[in-house]
Amino acid sequence: MFDGQRCTKLCHRWNTPGHAHELTFTCYKNRPFLSSERACRYLVEAIVASRNKHAFDLWAYVFMPDHVHLVVWPRQEKYSISQILRSIKQPVSRRILEYLRRENREGLKILATGERDEPHRFWQKGGGYDRNITSVETLIKSIRYIHNNPARRGLVETAEAWHYSSAADWEGLRRGPIAIDFDTFPMA
């Protein structure tokens, strides 16, 4: 049973029908760009739009100040995790850059790369981490791990207290910013 692969410079993604994917992607130079309410709002909107466009279910998420974790399950037999990631990340970058150019030109400096072809970046270059998940046990461990990120980092006392997370949804305490597709989650 294949449980995942870490992406390196040459990233291989396994778009295998029936697999869930744990996705992690990082802000440029690990900077805390997602400490901004605006950036998080843009990310929520991009995930919702991507979910509609690419027909995947969202089973868990956490936005940390400097990175994002998602657990997704593509509903179609043919899909591309790379296209899903691109459709989430590109709109966020575009909107942030448009906002900064219009409202805060000085703020562009923290996104500066020093490169001619790509003078500003919101996300770290590359595809991030993509792990295929094939068992319910691994899926549950993965969700617990990502939900506990804010508490492990000392940002909150309990995972459920972190606003940009599905942890409270999973505990039945409240709905988070993005609806979770519990109806398709596999039972052990």
pLDDT confidence of residue 64: 98
Handedness of CA 47, 52, 55, 60 (dihedral sign): positive
Proportion of the chain above pLDDT 90, given as a percent: 83
Q: Residues 10-29: what's their mean pLDDT?
A: 80
Handedness of CA 82, 84, 87, 89 (dihedral sign): negative
Residues 6+ apart with CB under 8 A from 8: none
CB 7 within 8 A of CB 129: yes
- Between the CA atoms of 117, 123, 126 and 132, what dihedral angle is there, to the nearest 10 degrees? -160
pLDDT confidence of residue 10: 43
Burial of residue 10 (CB within 10 Å: 0-12, 13-18, 19+) is: exposed
pTM reported for the whole predicted model = 0.90
pLDDT confidence of residue 188: 54
Domains of the chain in sequence order: 20-184 (3.30.70.1290)
Assess whether pLDDT exceeds 70 at residue 17: no
pLDDT digits 0-9 by tens, 167-180: 999 999 999 999 99
pLDDT confidence of residue 187: 77
pLDDT digits 0-9 by tens, 94-144: 999 999 999 999 999 999 999 999 999 999 988 788 889 999 999 999 999
Helices 81-103 and 37-54 cross at an angle (nearest 10°) of 150
- How many residues are listed for the chain in this entry? 188
Distance from C-alpha of 165 to C-alpha of 102, rounded to nearest angstrom: 30
pLDDT confidence of residue 9: 41
Beta bridge partners of 114: none
pLDDT confidence of residue 19: 87
pLDDT confidence of residue 14: 67
pLDDT confidence of residue 4: 37
